[in-house]
Amino acid sequence: MEYVKFTDIRPAAYNPRKISDEAFEELKSSLRVLGFILPIIVNRDNMTIVAGHQRTKAAMAVGMSEAPVYYISEVGIESEILFNQIHNGVEYEPQEHAHCIAPRESGVFYADVPPESFEMGGNNPSIVKDTCRLIVKHGDALCAIVCGDEVVFGNNYLKAVFTLGQPAHCYFLDPSKRKMFDYFFARDYGVFSYDHIERADFMQGRAQPPRYHDIEWSMLYRRVVPFLFKEDRRSVKVLDFGCGKAVFIDKLRKQLGYRYAIGLEFFNHNRVGISIEKGHEMINNFIAYVKANGLFDYVICDAVVNSVNTQKAEESVFTCLNLFAKLGGNVFVSGRLKEVALRQYKARRNTTDDSTTVQFFDENGLTAFMQEGQWFFQKFLTRDQVDALFDRYGFEPFIRYESSGYWGFGAQKVRELTREQYIEAVDYEFNLNLPNHQRYNRQEDIKPLFGLS
């Protein structure tokens, strides 16, 4: 651990926390009373703050000029962000804390506390796994806080270094300050917010599960197909909105003879990127279809809602589902369930693959990831939020399910929405941004189909 002058470092553009004025005043009070007991993290290569933005800002406001720091180097932006998220994940501290059986002098940072100095408590396996990955790849830039013999902060980090057999970074807090620590660290010093992050709509395909050619149907299609088998395949009109590579909708049309089954996908991936030409072709086919045949009997939206990147994007998807379906027609929708994602944090063990599993939600259930220098988002809904969708968007459910962390439903369209809602949704959905600052700009071609011009 070293010290760094605030004049030598700068904030990162991606800091995902926002803080209220009241919380900022509490943070300043915490620094006055407890001092700077949790080091910030800085990327030495560019002297950018990786974690500790709000504490740095508060420390400067109370007249401090430097802070304890752990440096990391040769680290990609994805790992920087993960360090930031894990460092800020106070809300994921386990209820059962570890204990130190060999406490040290109070008011001092130590970098050499051996793992056998602790009796482990609870932990969050997902955060522990990702913390281990960061430490192995980039070194240890995290810290636990011990008060008396109790680890009051950093239990997940401590489990990670215990797993790796490495000594821990610890700050030993004076036990007389325990009540003040409990007061200040229980405060809400900000919520995750991704409002300032630029949205690359075309990246959202990464948020969808792969649609494999070697499986018969997706989870949602398994619910749709029995209803379709009751229909006349020569006349029933089916749309897969956000069909990906059109695996299942093509199967309906080409193999099963549903001649009026079509798909619409804006982000058609080929081997080198997104085929904008293919996107325009699908939009043209959609326009020709609606002109010739009218609205749809069935509209399928398979794992698309979880790949929206704003609240407005979610609203536009559901409004378009209502617009495309005839009155009395059926919509089938699926997305990711927030309760399941939160429950995974409390699991006793983590059995997932090598991918990052920590997810930090904003107030709307969005969580952000970065790959290859671009952000993409996933959207999670609670059961109550799913329930609220039906009345809001004019649907009445007739089938619901939950499976593998996903929710899904089939619902009948029972009410039209307003003209203004439809126009806003079409303006959004048919003008999403594309690579190299391009857009489809097809909204004016779509509006006349539905009497919106």
Rounded distance between C-alpha atoms, residue 177 and residue 35, angstroms: 11
Q: Which residues pair with 40 in a beta bridge?
A: 69
Rounded distance between C-alpha atoms, residue 93 and residue 46, angstroms: 30
Q: Using one digit for the tens of pLDDT, what is the confidence trace for 355-378? A: 445 566 777 787 777 666 677 788
Q: Is 257 left (phi over 0), alpha (psi -120 to 50) or beta?
A: left
Rounded distance between C-alpha atoms, residue 407 and residue 336, angstroms: 6
Q: Which of 97-106, 195-204, 435-444 has the lowest mean pLDDT?
A: 195-204
Closest by Cα among 427, 448, 230, 414 to 325: 414
- The full length of the chain comes to 453
Rounded distance between C-alpha atoms, residue 442 and residue 432, angstroms: 10
Q: Using one digit for the tens of pLDDT, what is the confidence trace for 232-255? A: 999 999 999 999 889 999 999 999
Higher pLDDT, 120 or 212: 120
| pLDDT of amino acid 379 | 87
So where are the chain's domains?
A: 2-186, 201-450
Task: For residues 273-283, give the mean pLDDT.
Answer: 90
416 alpha carbon, distance to own chain's centre: 31
Closest by Cα among 163, 77, 168, 150 to 124: 163
Q: Check whether 194 has a pLDDT greater than 70.
A: no
pLDDT band at 23 (very low <50, low <70, confident <90, very high): confident
**Domain at 201-450, CATH class:** alpha beta
| pLDDT of amino acid 355 | 44
Name the percent of the chain in helix, strand, coil, to the closest 5.
Answer: 40, 25, 35
- Contact (Cβ atoms closer than 8 angstroms) between residue 171 and residue 145: yes
Instruction: For helices 21-34 and 53-61, give the axis angle rounded to 10 degrees.
Output: 70
- Contact (Cβ atoms closer than 8 angstroms) between residue 94 and residue 124: yes
Q: Using one digit for the tens of pLDDT, what is the confidence trace for 387-437? A: 999 999 999 999 999 998 899 999 999 999 999 999 999 999 999 888 888
Q: Using one digit for the tens of pLDDT, what is the confidence trace for 308-320? A: 888 899 999 999 9
- Tokens 């709307």 -> residue: 364
Q: Check whether 354 has a pLDDT greater than 60.
A: no
Q: Is residue 170 within a helix (H) or strand (E), and if so which, with residue range?
A: strand 168-173
322 alpha carbon, distance to own chain's centre: 26
